[in-house]
Structure formats: structure tokens, C-alpha cells
Structure 1
Amino acid sequence: MIGRAWWFCPTVLLAFEAQKVVELRLVRLAWGGQDARDEMVSMVTEKIAAAIEAAGTLMGGGSFDTVVSRYREHVAANTKRLATMA
């Protein structure tokens, strides 16, 4: 990480990017109704699937960077999906 700004670290970027998903999900939950219930189920299902995927990657000899990169892909997909619903 020497030579790069600390905020460019992929884990820091993941944290910032995830905040947008949190914001969009909170809005969806605040609306209530079936959409909110569906989003709650989606949140739990996605988190379990992502954790299993990450564990599999690490147990298979994958790197932490690979896991973070994949989580960022999931976050980007959620941001896109939730932003189009708003």
C-alpha cells in the first residue's frame, strides 16, 4: 500500500461503497409493504451467500484481495439494482 493514498485501499473503498447500499436499503425498508419484506429476505440471503462464497475462496487458497474484490462486485450490483427501484 506504500505509494497509494490510504483511502484508495480496496477495503476502505468497499466500506464507502457499502454505505450507499445501506442508504438505499433503509429507504426501501422505510417505505414498508411487500417491497420492504422482500428486501429484508434479500439482505439476509445475500449476506449468507456472500459469506459462504468468501469462505470457499479462502479455503480454496484464494486471497483476501480476491474476497474484497468480489464483495465490491456484489455491492455494485446491489447499488445498481436499488438505485433503479428508487
Structure 2
Amino acid sequence: MYNPLAFALLALEAQKVIELRLVKLAWGGAEGWDEAQQMVSEKVNALIEASGTLMMGGSTNTVISRYREHVAANTKRLTAIS
């Protein structure tokens, strides 16, 4: 069973990262291209990590918790002043 509150928080927090990434992609240029490549790479890595966790008997709560860590790191990175 999973924690519905953690799942809802992940959904809300991810929306901020989506917003920040869309802005960066819209600006285009080298930074936009780099962000697009990083985003795809992160998605593949997250799939592999989550699959491995579940195959090794981990819970959905563990996966959601780890995703929230990734989302928080992306929020911090995308809101940092360059």
C-alpha cells in the first residue's frame, strides 16, 4: 500500500519542476538543449531505479520518497541563480 499524501505531494512538487523546465526549454539555446537532454536521461534513470527497487522487494512508498528527493534536487537546481 502507498501513502496517498506522499503521492499527492509528489504530484504537486513535480508541477513546479515541470513549470521551471518548460520555461528553460522555451528560452531555447544551449541551456534549453542541455535541459532537454538531462530531462530524458533523468527519466530513464528514474525508471531503472524504481524498477530495481520494486523488483528487490521495495515498497511504493520507497519509490515515491526517492522520486520526491529527485524532484527537490531539480527544483533547487532550476531555481538557483546563475
Gaps in structure 2 of 5+ consecutive residues? none
Percent of pairs identical after alignment?
65
State the distance in 1 between where 2:19 and 2:62 align: 25
Counterpart position of 1:62: 58
Structure showing greater relative contact order (alpha-carbon pairs closer than 8 Å, 6 or more residues apart) = 2
1:79 pairs with 2:75: yes
TM normalised by structure 2 equals 0.92
User: What is the aligned counterpart of 2:41 among 45, 57, 69?
Assistant: 45
Matched residues in 2 for 1:53 and 1:32: separation? 29
Q: Which structure 1 residue ranges, 4+ long, deviate > 3 Å from structure 2?
A: none
- Deviation, structure 1 residue 85: 4.5
> Aligned-pair distance for 1:30?
1.0
Say which of 31, 34, 57 aligns to 1:35: 31
User: Any idea what SS the aligned residue of 1:61 has?
Assistant: coil
Q: Name structure 1 gaps, 5 residues minimum.
A: 1-5
Matched residue SS, 1:56: helix
Partner Cα separation in structure 2 for residue 41 and residue 78 of structure 1:
14
RMSD of aligned Cα (Å): 1.2
Structure with greater Cα Rg = 1
TM-score w.r.t. structure 1 length? 0.88
